[in-house]
Amino acid sequence: MSDPTMSGPTMSNSSTPLPPLSDAAVAELLAAGIAAFAIPAEGAWRAEAFSYLRTIADAAQFVLAHDLGDEAEPAAVFRP
């Protein structure tokens, strides 16, 4: 059942594919996370964190590129 108070497109009715996240956007996201949590970041650590965040963004892009519909479950659900 859909919630009429929710607005905006959902994955199942969106026909426009999401563009891949640019390296600049990933770097901005990393910088915002570091600042938000006041994490002391060294240069080498920042490069490695960027690499992990880039991989996560690419994986998310891959998953969101396919319409699974509203009936798809991310994992098995116990039903007695």
Q: Over the stretch 25-37, which tens digit does the pLDDT of each residue have?
A: 999 999 999 999 9
Position 6 scores a pLDDT of: 42
| DSSP code string of 22-71 | PHHHHHHHHHHHHHHTT----HHHHHHHHHHHHHHHHHHHHHHTS---SS
The DSSP 8-state label assigned to residue 66 in this structure reads: S
- pTM recorded for the entire structure: 0.62
**Domains in the chain: boundaries:** 23-64
Structure tokens at 39: 């994490």
